[in-house]
């Protein structure tokens, strides 16, 4: 995903992957990570979250305090093959800046 705010900056307060959680193999608790890039070549440190165990269908996959951007930003999501998740949408709380 590439975020662009007409050349202005923005603050990312929350990013959430809305998905069908709780449908994994018994005893598995997979991890999903996100990172971002402001230039397309260097990336931030991965921020991991647990995707939920079997039957945990109300688990939210949401990252808070995700930093900011000056002009544009690329967001990357990664996970392991144990996740077996279906994603419905990506939601973000973003505060646009005037600079």
Range 41-48 contact pairs with CB under 8 angstroms and sequence separation of 24 or more: 43/76, 46/78
Confidence at 75, pLDDT banded by 50, 70, 90: very high
List, for residues 36-55, the tens digit of each pLDDT value: 999 989 999 999 998 888 88
Residue 98 has pLDDT above 90, yes or no: no
Confidence at 71, pLDDT banded by 50, 70, 90: confident
Pick from 15-19, 22-26, 66-70: least confident: 22-26
**What's the rounded mean pLDDT across residues 10-27?**
87
Structure tokens at 27: 């005893």
pLDDT of amino acid 53: 85
pLDDT of amino acid 64: 95
Indicate yes or no: pTM above 0.85.
no
């Amino acid at each position: 995903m590439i975020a662009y705010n007409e050349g202005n900056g923005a603050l990312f307060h929350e990013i959430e992957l809305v998905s069908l959680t709780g449908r994994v193999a018994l005893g598995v608790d997979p991890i999903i990570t996100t990172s971002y890039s402001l230039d397309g070549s260097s990336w931030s440190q991965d921020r991991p979250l647990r995707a939920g165990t079997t039957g945990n269908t109300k688990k939210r996959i949401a990252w808070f305090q995700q930093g900011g951007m000056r002009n544009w930003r690329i967001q990357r999501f990664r996970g392991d093959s144990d996740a077996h998740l279906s994603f419905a949408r990506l939601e973000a709380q973003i505060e646009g800046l005037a600079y």
